[in-house]
Amino acid sequence: MFESVRSKKNPIGVEFIKKGLLTDAQVDRVLEYQKDHKDLRFAEIVDILDMCDKSKLLDTLAEKIQVTPVMLDEQIDINPVQYLPRDMIINYKAIPFDVDGNTIKIAFSDPQNAARVKEIELLLMNKGFNIEIYVTLYTSIMQQISNIRNVSTSYVDKEEQDISKLVDNIIMTAIERRASDVHVEPMEDKVRIRYRIDGELLTITELPKSRQDVFIGRLKSMSNMHQEITYDQEGSINDFEGYSIRVSSQKNINGEKFVLRILRKNYDARNLFELGFPESNEIVARAFDKRNSMVLICAPTGEGKTTTLYSVIDYLDRPEINIASIENPVERRIEGINQIETGPNVTFASALRTVLRQDPDIVFVGEIRDEETARIAIESGQTGHLVLSTIHTIDAIEAITRIRKMGISDYDVSATLVTTISQRLVRRLCNKCKKPHEITDDEKKYIEKVSKLTGYKFNLDNIEMYEPVGCKYCNDVGYYERIGVFEILCFDEYIKDMISEGKSTIDIRKYALENTDYEPLIVDAVNKVLSGITTFDEIKKKIII
């Protein structure tokens, strides 16, 4: 009897028929009703149309979706608006109905809407509460909503404050989860909130479109932006102790997108070796502890170049040394370092000219991005200073090509540039949950390919490989924090001669591979996989061979 085409298309409808709660004709009627009420679920319509016994309806629904049922026939003992905003209760059909210590019990008419459940969980978590999820009847929820529509005006004031609390909670949770950025993205029918954690963007929650304007208005207010302006703006938030948050807005077709960059104040630079740099004081000294020279960290945007330079500065810093940095912006404040921030009236080049009159020993230039800055940096290195900077290139050797293309002569490059270092960031396996991994034939073939390309022989005896699992500690991702993979090219006299003679980077790479201890990025990356730090999936995302 329950084999009609429409019944087959609705599994829960079939379930109701099997249990004898509905007839085939009633299921068809529900589906017809749903055509004009697309926001309602099947069981909600059955409840609205009063088609079967309420308790049996609720039990069947709870069994189907595996959520504990609760009947809310009577007035509940708590005031729900004390815990959730009124508009959230009304729009999400979710009602707090009991509190037990720090646990709030919440009944939903549709607990399968994961985005709504997640937003409520996020809001209450930062108030110190856990939640227990229940399912109840749609009509019961609506009755409870009618009871709270007439609550006292004191709760109306509280409701107006809730959007502020929601924004605060989203930022506080981002800080707790080690997010570097928060993305607020208006979409056609919702607002998506994502965190960038360890380089990966993760969707945290979604807000209804109806909350977009008030949410963005609150962000603008906190960031000291103009409320009425919808084109690109920049601002900052300094309301969270120990953190500075840079805010950028940009108009798109669905509204204004915001990105919040979270920066920790009074940053303690991490040890170079903790970042993944080869654990050899000899290599560190050979790469950095020089004068009359320039050292470049090379990588695409977002690969940790500045973090590495901060660690280098921490390694080199001594009371008798004057260190100055020129940055845009100053991402980390370091005690004892003279940090200069560029802006509309202060360029890297102009700041560098002034810094050179401040008797520096070491100059940290945030980025070599044009000929003028490159030329002054080169001249600084030739007049007794150690210049540390970054440049956007794919590897350490291509930094030579990049500097040449900025108009710097081969002689000046060879006379000043002494070390180039390329790096990428890959996610570390979570030490709390990673499990042993047996190397596969495909992985062995990959290693053989790397060996042929680089000439490096990997030791496959007694390797310790692992794979991600996921646990509470790593937010069920399987990875926790990131580590750098590095390649280091220290220029010997022959390489300097090759540069001054205008030799190509192909020739320089061939010489470096055959005659120096230079090892390409992929070598360090594979060794970190074989030692159980990361995985082949991670390094393949960042390094193409």
Q: What percent of the chain has pLDDT over 90?
A: 42
Residue 158 has pLDDT above 60, yes or no: no
Q: Quick: pLDDT tens for 403-427.
A: 999 999 999 999 999 999 999 999 9
* Average pLDDT over the chain, rounded to an integer: 87
- The hierarchical CATH code for the domain 153-264 is 3.30.450.90
DSSP track, 391-452: E--SSSTHHHHHHHHTT--HHHHHHHEEEEEEEEEEEEEPTTT-EE-PPPHHHHHHHHHHHH
Question: Which residue bears the tokens 């940096």?
Answer: 377
Cβ neighbors of 529 (< 8 A, separation 6 or more) are: 465, 535, 536, 538, 539
So what's the pLDDT on residue 296?
A: 95
So what's the pLDDT on residue 151?
A: 45
CA-CA distances (angstroms) from residue 42 to 70, 245, 250, 259?
18, 45, 40, 38
**Distance from C-alpha of 181 to C-alpha of 197, rounded to nearest angstrom:** 8
**Distance from C-alpha of 228 to C-alpha of 529, rounded to nearest angstrom:** 51
**Distance from C-alpha of 160 to C-alpha of 162, rounded to nearest angstrom:** 6
pLDDT category of residue 331 using cuts at 50, 70 and 90: confident
So what's the pLDDT on residue 7?
A: 41
So what's the pLDDT on residue 314?
A: 85
Q: What is the mean pLDDT of residues 112-137?
A: 86
**Distance from C-alpha of 525 to C-alpha of 530, rounded to nearest angstrom:** 9
Q: What is the mean pLDDT of residues 273-287?
A: 88
CATH 3.40.50.300 fits 281-542, yes or no: yes
Answer with the residue of higher pLDDT: 343 or 189: 189
Residue 79, token pair as written in the block: 């005031």
- CATH 3.30.450.90 in the chain is located at 153-264
Question: Which residue bears the tokens 């190397």?
Answer: 439
So what's the pLDDT on residue 77?
A: 81
Handedness of CA 327, 329, 332, 337 (dihedral sign): positive
Residue 160 has pLDDT above 70, yes or no: no
pLDDT category of residue 380 using cuts at 50, 70 and 90: confident
Residue 156 has pLDDT above 70, yes or no: no
**Distance from C-alpha of 211 to C-alpha of 108, rounded to nearest angstrom:** 20
- CATH 3.40.50.300 in the chain is located at 281-542
CA-CA distances (angstroms) from residue 409 to 378, 404, 501, 502?
10, 7, 11, 9
This model's pTM is above 0.75 = no
So what's the pLDDT on residue 521?
A: 96
Which range has highest mean pLDDT (163-172, 239-248, 484-493)?
484-493
Q: What is the mean pLDDT of residues 82-93?
A: 80
Residue 317, token pair as written in the block: 């810093």
Q: What is the mean pLDDT of residues 308-331?
A: 86
Q: Which of 324, 312, 316, 321 is nearest to 357 (CA)?
A: 324
So what's the pLDDT on residue 152?
A: 39
So what's the pLDDT on residue 347?
A: 84
- CATH 3.30.300.160 in the chain is located at 80-148
Cβ neighbors of 450 (< 8 A, separation 6 or more) are: 456, 458, 522, 523, 526, 545
CA-CA distances (angstroms) from residue 402 to 277, 296, 298, 386?
24, 11, 10, 20
Q: Quick: pLDDT tens for 262-274.
A: 988 766 667 888 8
pLDDT category of residue 52 using cuts at 50, 70 and 90: confident
Give the rounded distance of the alpha carbon of 450 from its chain centre: 30
Residue 312 has pLDDT above 70, yes or no: yes
So what's the pLDDT on residue 155?
A: 42
Q: Quick: pLDDT tens for 56-76.
A: 888 888 888 899 999 887 778
Residue 88 has pLDDT above 90, yes or no: no
How many other C-beta atoms can be found within 10 angstroms of the C-beta atom of residue 169?
18
Total residue count of the chain as it appears in this document? 545
CA-CA distances (angstroms) from residue 258 to 190, 217, 230, 234, 296?
14, 11, 11, 10, 32
State the CATH class of domain 80-148: alpha beta
Contact 67, 135 (CB under 8 A): yes
Answer with the residue of higher pLDDT: 91 or 502: 502
Answer with the residue of higher pLDDT: 432 or 46: 432
